[in-house]
Amino acid sequence: MRLLTPILVASNGHEVIVPPPGLESGVLLRDLDLMALIAAAGTASTTLAVDLDSVEGLNADAAAARFLAVELGVDVVITRRPAVASRVAALGRTALLHVFAFDSTGLARSLEGHPREPGIGTVLSPGPVLDHLPPAEVERLPRPLVAYGFVETAEQAWSLLRCVDSVVVRPGCALDMARDGTPGWYALDKGGRGD
């Protein structure tokens, strides 16, 4: 099993995603069908994450958790379902509970159902909200913590990595991040994650 990388490059599985050289990144498969998932998982050479709730033809349940973790060897599974996240973690993979922060009460409600068990972190959408939360709020979110959605620029992604463990970006943004180079603070602080 590979570990969660600081950058997850989003893909629908229909195009080959090769992580840019010099950028510690993995691939997040989302918004795809079951056949594309199986094909893409078979060729993964880096950390592979799957947004289970967005896979057409695969129910987000315990059987799907086992299929992804055991049969396909997926490293990280994202789901909105706490019981499925618990099952993924029990299988020895990283589970990320997807919570939404569209308003202050929405975040609190979403976190009420978080299992808060070892092996289960948090994906927060939209990602840029994290830059506007008080540090105490961010610290309460179960780790690993991933910013997901509406991260459009390399500058925005690097900024978010000051408070999260990983950020989801589109392929073009990942290329910009690699081309611009790693900020000095990131190299010194290992991404602001206190590692």
Q: Provide the 8-state DSSP code for 3.
A: P
For the stretch 31-84, pLDDT in tens is: 999 999 999 998 888 899 999 999 999 999 999 999 999 999 999 999 999 999
Q: Is the pLDDT of residue 172 over 60?
A: yes
The distance from CA 19 to its chain's CA centroid, rounded to whole angstroms, is 15
Average pLDDT for the chain = 91
Q: What average pLDDT does the segment 98-121 reach?
A: 86
pTM of the model: 0.92
CATH 3.40.50.150 is right for the domain spanning 7-189 = no
Q: Is 53 exposed, middle or buried (0-12, 13-18, 19+ CB in 10 A)?
A: middle
